[in-house]
Structure 1
Amino acid sequence: MRSLQFLSKPSRRLFWQVAVALPLLTGCSSGGEGTDAVEAANAQNQSKISDEDVTAKQEADAKFLVKVTGNALLEVELGKLMLARASSPIVRSYGTRVVQERLELLAALRTLAGAKKLAIPPALGEDEQAAYHEVNTRSGTQLDKQAVALIVRTQKQDEEAFDKMKDDAYDGDIRGFAAKHLPAVEEQLAAADEVADDIEDMP
């Protein structure tokens, strides 16, 4: 599996700079007291879409960006949890990979959303928070298994979403984004499945 030692020095430096900065931006909060960050982003986009009287496909474009951003934020937090508390070296190593890959995806999503003037969540939504905290209550091999299982689930959602939007997105740039990132998403899901298989027999 890929680890930080295979990254160039500039890549390693950028990775850790962003990894340190991200918790300051997101942490595990929902984006403010009484506010669900994912719902807030969807609501903001819906208001913009309603004002501009655009199509259902454009609404789907916005929901795609919100959903995959929410998943990526969750996976970063799970990766950091694996690094800190996983009992298996395989899972700890995988946690490093997850954090790196999802920080890269988040940066690309923020750039695209900014260009399209669409809102994406800056922090975990309530559903993502609940899923994270469910894993966080576990320990030992149960934490390992539940964290990996949750990442497999979210990455399957990502794969389906990217595969659909490479053909169905209204916006050409979003179609191109989905097509560009789909192979990496598929590779990452395969890696997650492999880790899940490797730890399946742990007690």
Structure 2
Amino acid sequence: MKRILCGAAIVMLSLTGCAETQRAADTTVAAAKAQVNPTLSTTDATFMTMAARGGMAEVQLGQLAQTGGSSAAVKRFGERMVREHGEANQAMMALAQQKQITPPETVGADQQQIYDNLSKLRGRAFDRAFAQAMVQNHQQDLQAYQEEAQNGTDPDVKAFAARHVPILQEHLRMAQQLPQR
């Protein structure tokens, strides 16, 4: 039981520990991308970078859930993450190409740490830690997408965010129903 709680605690700490560092790196990258495409604001470019990294991470975590999860609900949720975030990733790549920016090729350090921690867990311990990570990831993503949808400056990027808000709301609702205790 202690091992299960420690695993979940490690995952939760990793969710918050690297996020600020990753956001600062994303902002620096976005500023460089915005200079390549002067019609794209730094805020919009930062959002695109964050959304691309988050989408890739959700696909990887979904794949991990399909193999490491013990409950059918976690496996189904993982399958849905792969499918729906994969589709969103394709749309993001098309948008990035249209805006003449190069999207990131890898997930962020904080997302990689979550993956690494989850990959060490199995069974119910995995299910609980995965559910907690999905709730927190989708809360953060939903907030960023809503912010971009309301305050973005590029109409295409703003529309992309607005189209995906309802999907992320549904993902959050589903993640909150996964076994967390």
- TM above 0.5, yes or no, is yes
Aligned position for 2:19: none
Asked if the contact 1:38–1:66 (Cα under 8 Å) also holds between the matched residues in 2, the reply is: no
Deviates more, 1:42-51 or 1:136-145: 42-51
Match of 1:189 among 149, 172, 181: 172
| Structure 1 residues 76 and 51, CA gap change in structure 2 (3 angstroms) | closer
Which residues in structure 2 correspond to 1:4-153 (within 5 Å)?
43-50=28-35, 58-153=41-136
Structure-1-length-normalised TM-score? 0.71
Aligned position for 1:171: 154
Aligned position for 1:200: 180
Structure-2-length-normalised TM-score? 0.79
Deviates more, 1:135-144 or 1:38-47: 38-47
Q: Which runs of 5+ in 2 are unaligned?
A: 1-21
Aligned length: 160
Distance 1:105 1:51 in 2: 24
| Structure 1 residues 39 and 73, CA gap change in structure 2 (3 angstroms) | farther
Instruction: After TM superposition, give the deviation of residue 46 of structure 1 in Å.
Output: 2.1
Distance 2:37 2:126 in 1: 46
Distance 1:78 1:48 in 2: 27
Asked if the contact 2:55–2:89 (Cα under 8 Å) also holds between the matched residues in 1, the reply is: yes
Matched AA of 1:120: P
Instruction: After TM superposition, give the deviation of residue 125 of structure 1 in Å.
Output: 2.5
Q: Which runs of 5+ in 1 are unaligned?
A: 1-36
Matched AA of 2:145: F
Asked if the contact 2:59–2:86 (Cα under 8 Å) also holds between the matched residues in 1, the reply is: yes
Distance 2:31 2:48 in 1: 13
Identity of aligned residues (%): 27
